[in-house]
Amino acid sequence: MWAATGVSEAAIRPSTLQEVFVDGRTIVLLRQDGALLAVEGICPHLGGLLSDGTLKGDRLICPLHGAAFDVRSGAVLADPFGVEPPEGGVDALRSYPLRVVRGMVEVDLPTDRSA
């Protein structure tokens, strides 16, 4: 289900994190190496707001405990203790397809609310 974010493509600055709320979900929008990306905005470890995190290249680091995720895929790069997969116990971030319609960003949300 495509959903409007209320954010224009031009408002998403390179290497910055922009939090939006869409259909009851917290999502982070970002532009990395020219690509627009959308990932889950809440860390699956302890619920940190990822928009307050640090972006280092393709690595998004949670501000609470340092879990690191790949912004392109949502994959866990390191858990809060620096343990790299396949060890560690942090779930991956959801990543969302997005598109730009008449200059405005939309994200494709799963119709299943648990996803």
In which residue are the tokens 């392109």 written?
A: 72
Percent of the chain whose pLDDT exceeds 90: 65
What is the reported pTM?
0.88
Residue 2 CB neighbours (<10 A): 11
Distance CA 37, CA 85 (A): 23
pLDDT of residue 99: 96
**2-107: CATH homologous superfamily?**
Rieske [2Fe-2S] iron-sulphur domain (2.102.10.10)
pLDDT tens for each residue of 14-55: 888 999 999 999 999 999 888 999 999 999 888 889 999 999
**Using CA atoms in the order 69, 70, 74, 75, what is the torsion angle rounded to 10 degrees?**
-80
What are the sequence ranges of the domains in the chain?
A: 2-107
